[in-house]
Amino acid sequence: MSIEKIGVLGAGVMGGGIAQVCATAGYEVVVYDIDPAALTAGHEHATTGRFGLDSGVERGKLTREEADAAAARLVFTESFADAAATDLVVEAVPERLDLKIRVFRDLDAAAPEHTILCSNSSGFPIQAIGAATNRPELVCGWHWASPAPVMKLAEIVRTRATSDATVETVREVAARCGKHPVVVQDTAMAWGYVANRVYFAMIAEAQKVVNEGIATADEVDQLMMDCYRWPSGPFGMVKGAGSGWS
């Protein structure tokens, strides 16, 4: 299916960056948030923020003309209907299953029949979200990492109901966005798909080390960076993810 217009729901830490990346890749992007202040902040992050379009020009990632063209493709709106009237929607509202289910039910009612609905959930079963719609074959997870303009993660989560065509389309869009798509299976047995299951196992062990008085959080971070060449230690990653590394 040809994707030209992408909707993004939620203009927070993730949504603004996701919208920026999609616009940079050449898609028309419509971002909706229930909070007008979040729309303003999301637009600022995408344009003048630490990883925004202007900084992309400064860092030599894109030309001024490319950044201006991407900015012109970005619309931040208080109209849910406008964000739903697109070819593919990426939902990035807070990590609450009841909220995501409600948002997908509303999206299903408002979006055209062909629209693919993706969730950037960090780990909820996509089958539970897809079941809120009458189009589970067009629903999958598309899990991004923060900051979205920098990180290559595209964990595409397919349920038993997700069609091959949906998976292929999202994979193609993610690749055009400069990401490294990897398709994984959905499960209702554990939160976190692959990346976050492994990450949280590591965080749990790091916290155990601190609780046992073996090392401080800062020392654990330093050891893990020095041992594995990670850009940040486990505790630094938790802080960075919450703030968008701003």
Ligand X SMILES: NC(=O)c1ccc[n+]([C@@H]2O[C@H](COP(=O)([O-])OP(=O)(O)OC[C@H]3O[C@@H](n4cnc5c(N)ncnc54)[C@H](O)[C@@H]3O)[C@@H](O)[C@H]2O)c1
For the annotated catalytic residues, the residue numbers are 143
The interface region with ligand X, picked from 8-16, 20-28, 154-162, 204-212 by CB under 6 A, is 8-16
- Minimum Å gap between C-beta 179 and ligand X is 13
The interface region with ligand X, picked from 13-21, 70-78, 161-169, 228-236 by CB under 6 A, is 13-21
Which residues, in sequence order, are CB contacts of 73 under 8 Å at separation 6+? 23, 26, 27, 28, 29
Query: Which residue in the shown chain puts its C-beta closest to ligand X?
Result: 12
CA pair distance 203, 45, nearest whole angstrom: 28
> Footprint of ligand X on residues 165-194 (CB under 6 A)?
none
Q: Is the omega angle on the peptide bond into residue 147 within 30 degrees of 0, that is, cis?
A: yes
14 vs 116 by CB, closer to ligand X: 14
Strand order in the sheet with 28-32: 74-77, 28-32, 5-9, 88-91, 116-119, 139-143, 153-158, 180-185
- Minimum Å gap between C-beta 109 and ligand X is 14
CA pair distance 13, 2, nearest whole angstrom: 28
Q: Which of 32, 104, 142, 199 binds ligand X (CB under 6 A)?
A: 32
18 vs 25 by CB, closer to ligand X: 18
Q: Compute CA distances 81 → 117, 170, 216, 229, whole Å.
A: 14, 22, 49, 45
Q: Which of 5, 7, 8, 10 binds ligand X (CB under 6 A)?
A: 10
CA pair distance 158, 142, nearest whole angstrom: 9
The interface region with ligand X, picked from 19-27, 46-54, 144-152, 217-225 by CB under 6 A, is 144-152
How far does Cα 175 stand from its chain's mean position?
Answer: 14
Q: By CB under 6 A, is residue 33 in contact with ligand X?
A: yes
Pairing status of strand 28-32 against strand 88-91: unpaired
CA pair distance 125, 208, nearest whole angstrom: 27
Do residues 112 and 124 make contact, with C-beta atoms less than 8 angstroms apart?
no
The interface region with ligand X, picked from 53-61, 140-148, 182-190, 213-221 by CB under 6 A, is 140-148
Q: By CB under 6 A, is residue 95 in contact with ligand X?
A: yes
153 vs 223 by CB, closer to ligand X: 153
- What type of residue sits at position 151? M
Q: Which of 6, 13, 88, 118 binds ligand X (CB under 6 A)?
A: 13
Q: By CB under 6 A, is residue 20 in contact with ligand X?
A: no
Q: Which of 6, 31, 67, 93 binds ligand X (CB under 6 A)?
A: 93
Q: By CB under 6 A, is residue 157 in contact with ligand X?
A: no
Q: Which residues bind ligand X (CB under 6 A)?
A: 9-15, 32-35, 38, 92-95, 103, 120-122, 144-146, 241
